[in-house]
């Protein structure tokens, strides 16, 4: 197994791609800073990272934060399996401080580059050290041995990022690699990775809820190529087969393989075939005519979209895919269950979290809490964090964090920390709340989130809502009522 950090130096071949910053970051020039003597913009002193794919660049940016500028090698919307670098990118690769790749054979275009490399520029292999689904598991039953294309995936299925919990390991590997390149930022990278791991855990719970309504007899996937194996393993689905019998999109199916796939679809009753956006659907439609399959053509598995598309980030990409898969497999609505009365109590005519599905409570401080008090203080807290999800839209809509201190001064300290954070916001985005006779509260709003926080004695409560939690007029009142109801509980 390769190590997560690989040496790289001189390039005997030339690489290219369009630069796609993810997301755009401020630099000295964009902030208007310039050399006091020459008047020229200052060079950005932050780490410059080049990530192979757009989804990977988004993950890297989440871990790197403001300490790095992250660009993408393979342009948005381009299949990395078939990407052919051009000479124009030699300068971009040479100027990067660090290269981040998925590894395990995904980037076939880097093979010659790495083989020709000597000592020098470091490369982080995000998937390093994670056990792979073997080719035997990744390639559908009935595929003919030796019919794979020439794309190198000899190590196994490289699509590990389609399992959010495996991406937690990506975050750790990336944080370690960034710290090696920038030791002064090690604590920042580690903290960002922990915060992102928490978001990935929440994403995992959201996807489980989205797919919970898929009947057992329909939890069957037919795909364009063998890309959803890790996703299927994580969420209790089974891959029946693929149009292209390979973990690469460069394969060509034989007549015998297609006939075998049609037979498996008829035997299993698989309800749909799932294609990535932009893939030619002709073969899938022919298959649908033979079997009655529904054709779903809007997955994003190997590239994000632009910011105005349905998958502008890794987290958004996974939510979109899960929603499309659940719909394509015929998910039925799950009867919503209100949260237990020990967690919330109606404080208005209707319970603000009635009809929401409650995820498991988890210990650990949200990154928002970590930003206003020291890590030493966090370690002494009792923290409970619960995510509530809309049963129809299947989106994480509400997060309730309850922090209990041994002494009231702890809750006051945290409350004051949020007051300081709130003071920097425009006045239109904040207001004071009258939570109760013995409690204080305040409200902060910033698109697409809204938050209410309050304290009473030894407890501090933070209620955060996404834009899916009702219209703004209802949202503020519901969150205030929920915070008041939580404080009313012993």
One-character DSSP codes across 341-387: TTT----SSS-TTTTEEEPPPEES--HHHHTTS-HHHHHT-EEEEEE
Same domain (yes/no): 483, 396: yes
Residue 99 parent element (H or E): strand 98-101
10 with 86, same domain: the answer is: yes
- 479: domain CATH number is 3.40.1000
**Range scoring the smallest mean pLDDT among 113-122, 461-470, 480-489:** 113-122
Give tens-digit pLDDT for 276-304. Answer: 998 888 999 998 999 999 999 999 999 99
Question: Across residues 61-87, what is the average pLDDT?
Answer: 88
Rounded to 10 degrees, the C-alpha dihedral 2/58/308/284 comes to 20
- Work out the pLDDT band at 406, boundaries 50, 70, 90: confident
Average pLDDT, the chain: 74
Averaged over 433-456, what is the pLDDT?
62
Can you give the pLDDT at residue 481?
72
Residue 343 lies in a domain: no
**Which of 166, 181, 208 is the last residue before a domain boundary?**
208
Model pLDDT, residue 41: 45
CATH label of the domain that carries residue 109: 3.40.50.1980
> Is 33 a residue whose pLDDT tops 50?
no
240 in a structural domain = yes
Contact 440, 418 (CB under 8 A): no
What's the residue count for the chain? 490
Last residue within a domain, chosen from 328, 345, 372: 328
> Are 195 and 300 members of one domain?
no
What is residue 426's predicted lDDT score, i.e. its pLDDT? Answer: 59
**pLDDT surpasses 90 at 230:** yes
Count Cβ neighbours within 10 Å for each residue of 363-393 and write b for 16 or more, e otherwise. Answer: ebbbebbbebbeeebeeebebebbbbbbbee
pLDDT for residue 72 is more than 90: yes
pLDDT at 158 over 70: yes
The pLDDT of residue 400: 80
The lowest-confidence range among 20-24, 150-154, 201-205, 409-413 is 20-24
Chosen domain end from 208, 225, 245: 208
Percentage of residues of the chain with pLDDT beyond 90 = 34
The confidence score (pLDDT) of residue 434 equals 55
Write the CB contacts of 418 (distance below 8 Å, at least 6 apart in sequence): 372, 442, 444, 453, 462
Domain that holds residue 475: 356-488
Q: Does residue 110 form part of some domain?
A: yes
Given the structure tokens 């780490």, which residue do they identify? 47
pLDDT of residue 20: 40
- Average pLDDT for 47-66: 96
pTM: 0.63
pLDDT on residue 439: 53
- What's the rounded Cα separation, in Å, for the pair 203 and 376? 27
**DSSP category for residue 275:** E
Task: Flag whether 349 is in a domain.
Answer: no
Query: For position 485, what pLDDT does the model report?
Result: 72
- Whether 61 maps to a domain, the answer reads yes
Label residue 449 by pLDDT band (50, 70, 90). low
The pLDDT value recorded for residue 442 is 64
Residue-level pLDDT at 464: 76
Dihedral, 404, 405, 407, 408 alpha carbons, nearest 10: -50
The yes-or-no verdict on residue 267 having pLDDT over 90 is yes
Q: Are residues 309 and 402 in the same domain?
A: no
pLDDT tens string 301-316: 999 999 999 999 999 9
How far is it, in rounded angstroms, from Cα 258 to Cα 291? 12
- pLDDT category at 169 given cuts 50, 70, 90 is very high
Q: Is 334 within a domain? A: no
Q: Is residue 189 part of a domain?
A: yes
Tokens of 397: 């809509």
167 and 271 in a common domain: no
* Cβ pair 201, 261 in contact under 8 A: no
The token duo for 277 is 């956006």
Note whether 146 and 286 are same-domain residues. no
Write down the pLDDT at residue 278.
Answer: 86
Task: Look up residue 115 and give its two tokens.
Answer: 């083989």
Of 224 and 340, more confident: 224
User: What's the number of domains the chain is made of?
Assistant: 3
Task: Dig out the tokens for 238 from the structure.
Answer: 């089974």
Domain co-membership, 375 together with 408: yes
Residues 476 and 381 grouped into a single domain: yes
Confidence grade of residue 380 (pLDDT, cut at 50, 70, 90) = low
pLDDT at residue 138 is higher than 50: no
Mean pLDDT calculated for residue range 226-237: 92
Which has the higher per-residue pLDDT, 435 or 398? Answer: 398
146 and 26 both lie in a single domain: yes
Q: How confident is the model at residue 40 (pLDDT cuts 50, 70, 90)?
A: very low
Residue 250 pLDDT: 54
> Greater confidence, 342 or 390?
390
Query: In angstroms, rounded to a whole number, what is the distance separating the alpha carbons of residues 389 and 399?
Result: 9
Q: Is residue 338 part of a domain?
A: no
Q: Which of 51, 80, 100, 96 is nearest to 159 (CA)?
A: 80
Q: Does residue 29 sit in the same domain as residue 175? A: yes
Same domain, 163 and 261: no
Question: CB of 298 within 8 A of CB of 258?
Answer: no
On the CB side of 276, CA atoms within 13 Å amount to 25
CB 304 within 8 A of CB 311: yes
- pLDDT (0 to 100) of residue 79: 83
Banded model confidence at residue 155, pLDDT cuts 50, 70, 90 = low
The count of C-alpha atoms lying within 13 angstroms of the C-alpha of 490, restricted to the half-sphere facing its C-beta, is 0
The pLDDT of residue 65 is above 90:
yes
Residues 381 and 311 placed together within one structural domain of the fold = no
């Amino acid at each position: 197994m390769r190590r997560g950090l690989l040496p790289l130096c001189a390039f005997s071949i030339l690489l290219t791609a369009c630069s796609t910053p993810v997301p755009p970051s401020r630099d000295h020039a964009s902030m208007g800073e310039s050399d006091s003597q020459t008047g020229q913009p200052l060079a950005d002193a932050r780490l410059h990272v080049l990530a192979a794919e757009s989804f990977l660049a988004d993950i890297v940016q989440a871990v790197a934060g403001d300490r790095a500028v992250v660009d993408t090698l393979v342009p948005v919307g381009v299949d990395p399996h078939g990407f052919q670098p051009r000479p124009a990118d030699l300068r971009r690769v040479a100027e990067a401080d660090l290269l981040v790749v998925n590894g395990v054979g995904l980037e076939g275009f880097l093979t010659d580059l790495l083989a020709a490399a000597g000592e020098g520029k470091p490369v982080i292999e995000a998937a390093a050290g994670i056990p792979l689904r073997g080719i035997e598991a990744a390639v559908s039953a009935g595929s003919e041995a030796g019919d794979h294309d020439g794309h190198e995936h000899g190590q196994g299925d490289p699509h590990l990022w389609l399992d959010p919990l495996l991406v937690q390991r990506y975050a750790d590997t990336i944080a370690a690699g960034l710290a090696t390149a920038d030791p002064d930022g090690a604590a920042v990278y580690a903290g960002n990775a922990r915060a992102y791991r928490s978001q990935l855990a929440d994403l995992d719970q959201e996807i489980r809820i989205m797919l919970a309504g898929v009947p057992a007899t329909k939890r069957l996937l037919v795909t364009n190529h063998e890309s959803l194996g890790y996703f299927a393993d994580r969420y209790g689905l089974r891959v029946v087969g693929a149009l292209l019998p390979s973990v690469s999109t460069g394969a060509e199916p034989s007549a015998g393989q297609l006939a075998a796939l049609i037979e498996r679809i008829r035997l299993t009753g698989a309800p749909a075939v799932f294609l990535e956006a932009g893939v030619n659907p002709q073969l899938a439609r022919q298959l649908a005519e033979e079997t009655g399959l529904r054709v779903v053509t809007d997955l994003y598995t190997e590239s994000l979209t632009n910011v105005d598309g349905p998958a502008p980030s890794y987290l958004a990409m996974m939510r979109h895919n899960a929603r499309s898969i659940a719909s394509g497999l015929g998910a039925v609505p799950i009867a919503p269950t209100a949260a237990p009365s020990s967690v919330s109590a109606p404080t208005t005519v209707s319970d603000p979290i009635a009809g929401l599905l409650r995820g498991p409570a988890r210990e650990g401080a949200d990154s928002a809490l970590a930003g206003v008090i020291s890590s030493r203080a966090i370690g002494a807290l009792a923290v409970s964090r619960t995510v509530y999800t809309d049963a129809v839209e299947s989106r994480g809509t509400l997060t309730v964090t309850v922090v209990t201190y041994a002494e009231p001064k702890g809750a006051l300290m945290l409350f004051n920390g949020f007051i300081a954070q709130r003071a920097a916001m425009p006045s239109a985005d904040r207001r004071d709340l009258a939570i109760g006779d013995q409690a204080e509260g305040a409200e902060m709003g910033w698109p697409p989130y809204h938050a209410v926080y309050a304290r009473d004695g030894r407890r501090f409560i933070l209620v955060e809502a996404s834009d899916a939690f009702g219209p703004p007029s209802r949202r503020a009142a519901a969150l205030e009522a929920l915070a008041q109801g939580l404080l009313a509980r012993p």
